[in-house]
Chains A and B, each alone.
Chain A
């Protein structure tokens, strides 16, 4: 039981990140539990969140959660979503500085900014290159290989850095493997991925064998990627080079 409790504690800490905003919330919760005179508000904004936190740390809750939900272990932190942390902190800030509004506005705002972490500095927040919010190079590559209106769909192999965006732009482009192959913890096997992504130097013959088995018409290859024999020497046609990516077409599957 102690081990499960510690698991919950680790999840709680991971949820809080730097921990300062979480500390601000805990302080707000304690304040509201003590200072809120209106029981009706206290029950909703303080007592219920307190009960959720207590429930979160009870090992039986985690055992039941993992048993009921298939990915229960990974999503246990979502129990914390039941707590209105933002409303608790904001309401506490208002209550504390009810009669000193201007000072309160500055103090609490600065506190939130110092304790929190601004979302726009997140490492996964990029500058939008187009209205699709996907890299422009993906759009450009897809525009080259996308089938016309009455043409059949095409299958293409993409390098892992483009993989997740291709079908967000055009679902008429099929792929022998997708995002499932680039999430390390899922650990799936795919024959094309095995010969295209894993070796430092691609074996062109093995690659063609795999792509032809999966009926890939195009191979999109980063021009910096090493390959033992150039694909055009293996009989493929270099259709275009877009943004540093060579687009090869396999004549066996060309229309």
Chain B
């Protein structure tokens, strides 16, 4: 049973999201086709799809809603993951030869640059990956040890938070009673949909994982989610660091050590994102502060980094300068706005507000008015979400 549950966890938390990420990978520039970004994109798509299915089931299905939601979501995730893997296999079988490393065929962005590429004037060295020196590898080792320590502590320590008796019980109710927010978590009495909390379906996403893996939802929330979500937050900070530090990639592990120490020592009050990340990891608001907001900032660092890029670099990075590849950040922002809704109803407003501010700055910097329609399209999910929120 334990082995089956462990396999199911690997399937639903790694294999399926990676497959889904391969679908988004198709529209990314080559340098961004890394395993880390693929993983993040997979979750972005997974959360976005769950948002649509869960809210529809919650509003439209009066009895046994969660079971139907689980069947629908599992089917769609499965189809998307299989489509992702199938399309990738189709794509790489054309390029495959025995001398090439299969991993780099799937994730070409992770390939270390060759010396001749680095001295070529036709490449953007800022986005290329170099071989790390031994010293940098030691720093990576230190960072890895800090993260490992944090993950061990997440398992052996049990932070108390009163809100768990709402959010964690919502997950468990879905798993045990097959309901979606129609039983009061505190007492167990029937209740009408509390729309302020109901639209934020992240506890139900956790319940989905719990149900598919046959593990108690409280164990999934308290013990398993930190093992997934804390490294995921670091992945976003890592991508931010790659852009911020540019060619000085030797500084990235040092930057990540600082980030991990800040996460551990950021408990200066009960309000900081770091406190939420380490003590309330499984709650949607922690994900707003440590997934949605950093993701928005990373996407805009990427957009700013790409603007004013010479055409020849674009052509090289985007395999011919496809328009969809150039606009991949806006597509991801669209999905992020969908995903933000599952975390918290405030999260979707916060994410959109920050995206609005940064779009405004991007507009001023580039004086490219095509940004306005792109930004407006990317916030359509927010508009729909708020419309449902106020009309229910």
- State the majority secondary structure of interface residues on A: helix
Contacts of B357 in A (CB 8 A): 48, 51-52
Q: Take A78-B350, A89-B262 as given contacts and tell me if A45 and B164 are in contact as well, using a CB distance cutoff of 8 Å.
A: no
* B265 contact from A87, A105, A118, A124, Cβ within 8 A: A118
**Smallest distance from the beta carbon of A33 to chain B beta carbons, Å?**
14
Q: Quick check: B262 and A86 within 8 Å, CB to CB?
A: yes
Total interface residues in chain A, CB < 8 Å = 84
Confirm or deny: B132 has a beta carbon within 8 angstroms of a beta carbon on chain A.
no
Q: Quick check: B162 and A164 within 8 Å, CB to CB?
A: yes
Contacts of A101 in B (CB 8 A): 135, 250-251, 254
Q: Quick check: B165 and A15 within 8 Å, CB to CB?
A: no
* B289 contact from A81, A89, A174, Cβ within 8 A: A81
**Roughly how many angstroms separate A253 CA and B219 CA in the complex, as a whole number?**
32
Contacts of B271 in A (CB 8 A): 14-15, 77-78, 80
Q: Quick check: A40 and B305 within 8 Å, CB to CB?
A: yes
Q: Quick check: A178 and B346 within 8 Å, CB to CB?
A: no
Confirm or deny: B30 has a beta carbon within 8 angstroms of a beta carbon on chain A.
no
**Roughly how many angstroms separate A132 CA and B217 CA in the complex, as a whole number?**
9
Candidate in B139, B160, B275 with the most chain A CB atoms within 10 angstroms: B160
B interface footprint on A183-218 (CB within 8 Å = 1, 0 otherwise): 100000000000000000000000000000000000
Confirm or deny: B87 has a beta carbon within 8 angstroms of a beta carbon on chain A.
no
**Roughly how many angstroms separate A79 CA and B349 CA in the complex, as a whole number?**
11
Q: Take A45-B244, A116-B262 as given contacts and tell me if A124 and B365 are in contact as well, using a CB distance cutoff of 8 Å.
A: no
Range of interface residues on chain B? 35 or more
A interface footprint on B240-282 (CB within 8 Å = 1, 0 otherwise): 1101110010110011111101111111110111110011000
Q: Quick check: B176 and A81 within 8 Å, CB to CB?
A: no
Q: Quick check: B166 and A90 within 8 Å, CB to CB?
A: no
Q: Quick check: A178 and B250 within 8 Å, CB to CB?
A: no
A-B CB contacts (within 8 Å), total count: 256
Q: Quick check: B264 and A87 within 8 Å, CB to CB?
A: no
Q: Take A116-B268, A117-B265 as given contacts and tell me if A134 and B274 are in contact as well, using a CB distance cutoff of 8 Å.
A: no
Q: Quick check: B186 and A178 within 8 Å, CB to CB?
A: yes
**Smallest distance from the beta carbon of A253 to chain B beta carbons, Å?**
15
Q: Quick check: B305 and A86 within 8 Å, CB to CB?
A: no
* B165 contact from A81, A109, A178, Cβ within 8 A: A178
Q: Take A48-B357, A86-B262 as given contacts and tell me if A78 and B267 are in contact as well, using a CB distance cutoff of 8 Å.
A: no
Confirm or deny: A58 has a beta carbon within 8 angstroms of a beta carbon on chain B.
no
Confirm or deny: B288 has a beta carbon within 8 angstroms of a beta carbon on chain A.
yes
Contacts of A69 in B (CB 8 A): 346
Q: Quick check: B346 and A75 within 8 Å, CB to CB?
A: yes
Q: Take A16-B269, A52-B357, A127-B156 as given contacts and tell me if A177 and B248 are in contact as well, using a CB distance cutoff of 8 Å.
A: no
Of the A-B pairs whose beta carbons lie under 8 Å apart in the complex, a sample of 16, sorted by A's number, is: A15-B269, A15-B272, A41-B304, A44-B301, A44-B304, A48-B358, A86-B262, A101-B135, A116-B265, A121-B267, A131-B216, A133-B158, A134-B218, A164-B164, A174-B188, A182-B162
Seen from chain A, the residues whose Cβ lies within 8 Å of a Cβ on chain B are 14-22, 39-41, 43-45, 47-48, 51-52, 69-70, 75, 77-82, 84-87, 89-91, 93-94, 98, 101, 104-105, 108-109, 112-113, 115-122, 124-129, 131-134, 153, 155, 163-165, 167-180, 182-183
Other A-B contacts than A167-B165, A180-B186, 19 sampled, CB-CB below 8 A, are: A17-B269, A19-B268, A22-B268, A41-B301, A52-B357, A78-B346, A82-B293, A87-B237, A87-B240, A91-B244, A104-B254, A108-B258, A109-B257, A116-B267, A117-B265, A124-B279, A125-B279, A179-B165, A183-B162
